[in-house]
Structure 1
Amino acid sequence: MKTLSKIIGLFILCAALYSCGGDGAGIDSTKPRARGSIGEIILVIDSAKYAGPVGEELKNIFEADLPGMLRSESIFNVHQVDPRAMTRMLRMSTNLIYVTTFDDRSSASQVINQQFSKESKEKALNDPSIYSLRVEDEYAIGQEVLYLFGNTDDQLIKNLKANADKLQNLFEVRERGRLEKILLARKNSAANAEAEKDLGIQINVPASYQVAKSEPGFLWVRQPTPNGNRADISLFFHEEDYTSEEQTFPENILKLRDSITHEHIFGDPEDLNSFVVTEKQIVPSFRNMVINGNFTTEIRATWKTNNISMGGSYLGYLMVDEKKGKLYYLEGFVYYPNEIHRDALREIQTILLNTDVSWTPDQGS
Structure 2
Amino acid sequence: MKFLSRISLFILAVAILASCDSNGSLSESTKPRARGSIGEIILVIDSAKYAGPVGDALRDIFESDLPGMIRSESKFKVNTVDPRAMTRMLKMSTNLIYVTTFDDKGGASQVINAQFSKESKEKALNDPSIYSLRVEDEYAIGQEVLYLFGNTEEQLVDNLKKNGPRIQNLFEVRERGRLEKILLARKNTAANAEAEKNIGIQINVPASYQIAKSVPGFLWLRQPTPSGNRADISLFFHVEDYVSEEQTFPENILALRDSITKQHIFGDPEVPSSYVVTEKQIPPAFRNMVINDNFTTEIRASWRTNNVTMGGTYLGYLMVDEQKGKLYYIEGFVYYPNEVHRDALREIETILLNTDVSWVPDQGS
Matched letter for residue 182 of structure 1: I
Residue matched to 2:151? 151
Residue matched to 1:87? 87
Match status 1:338 vs 2:338: yes
Instruction: Report SS of the residue matched to 1:268.
Output: coil
Residue matched to 2:195? 195
Residue matched to 2:49? 49
Matched letter for residue 78 of structure 1: V
Equivalents in 1 of 2:277, 2:88: separation in Å?
Answer: 49
Change (3 A) 1:177 1:47: same
Residue matched to 1:307? 307
Residue matched to 2:160? 160
Residue 12 of structure 1: how far off its partner (Å): 6.3
Change (3 A) 1:288 1:67: same
| 1:134–1:144 CA contact under 8 A, matched in 2 | yes
Please give the per-residue CA displacement for 1:211-267, whole angstroms capped at 9, x wherever unaligned.
Answer: 000011000000010000000000000000001110000000000000000000011
Residue matched to 2:75? 75
Matched letter for residue 100 of structure 1: T
Equivalents in 2 of 1:114, 1:271: separation in Å?
Answer: 66
Instruction: Report SS of the residue matched to 1:157.
Output: helix
Residue matched to 2:38? 38
Matched letter for residue 236 of structure 2: F
Residue matched to 2:109? 109
Task: Provide the TM-score with structure 2 as the length reference.
Answer: 0.93
Matched letter for residue 212 of structure 1: A
Residue 322 of structure 1: how far off its partner (Å): 0.6
Query: Percent identity among equivalent residues?
Result: 82
Residue matched to 2:229? 229
Match status 1:253 vs 2:244: no
Equivalents in 2 of 1:334, 1:58: separation in Å?
Answer: 28
Change (3 A) 1:12 1:258: farther
Please give the per-residue CA displacement for 1:81-130, whole angstroms capped at 9, x wherever unaligned.
Answer: 00000000000000000000000000000000011111101100000000
Equivalents in 1 of 2:288, 2:363: separation in Å?
Answer: 28
Residue matched to 1:18? none
Change (3 A) 1:342 1:12: farther
Residue matched to 1:118? 118
Equivalents in 1 of 2:176, 2:8: separation in Å?
Answer: 28
Change (3 A) 1:32 1:245: same
Residue 30 of structure 1: how far off its partner (Å): 1.1
Residue 27 of structure 1: how far off its partner (Å): 6.5
Residue 44 of structure 1: how far off its partner (Å): 0.1
Residue matched to 2:138? 138
Instruction: Report SS of the residue matched to 2:359.
Output: coil
Matched letter for residue 97 of structure 2: I
Equivalents in 1 of 2:36, 2:117: separation in Å?
Answer: 30
Please give the per-residue CA displacement for 1:11-41, whole angstroms capped at 9, x wherever unaligned.
Answer: 1689xxxxxxxxxxx9611100000000000
Matched letter for residue 234 of structure 1: S
Equivalents in 1 of 2:187, 2:346: separation in Å?
Answer: 18
Residue 8 of structure 1: how far off its partner (Å): 8.6
Equivalents in 2 of 1:33, 1:363: separation in Å?
Answer: 46
Change (3 A) 1:27 1:64: farther
| 1:9–1:119 CA contact under 8 A, matched in 2 | no
Residue matched to 1:169? 169
Equivalents in 1 of 2:28, 2:267: separation in Å?
Answer: 53
Task: Provide the TM-score with structure 1 as the length reference.
Answer: 0.93
Match status 1:322 vs 2:325: no
Matched letter for residue 351 of structure 1: I
Equivalents in 2 of 1:150, 1:364: separation in Å?
Answer: 60
| 2:13–2:119 CA contact under 8 A, matched in 1 | no
Match status 1:274 vs 2:274: yes
| 1:27–1:137 CA contact under 8 A, matched in 2 | no
Residue matched to 1:61? 61
Matched letter for residue 321 of structure 1: D
| 2:10–2:123 CA contact under 8 A, matched in 1 | no
Matched letter for residue 239 of structure 1: V
Residue matched to 1:184? 184
Residue matched to 1:354? 354
| 2:63–2:78 CA contact under 8 A, matched in 1 | yes
When the two chains are superposed, the root-mean-square deviation of aligned CA atoms in Å is 1.6
Query: Following superposition of structure 1 onto structure 2, how do residues 14-29 of structure 1 map, counting pairs within 5 Å?
Result: 28-29=28-29
Instruction: Report SS of the residue matched to 2:345.
Output: helix
Residue 273 of structure 1: how far off its partner (Å): 2.1
Q: Which runs of 5+ in 1 are unaligned?
A: 1-6, 15-25
Number of equivalences: 348
Matched letter for residue 56 of structure 1: D
Matched letter for residue 258 of structure 1: D
Matched letter for residue 354 of structure 1: N
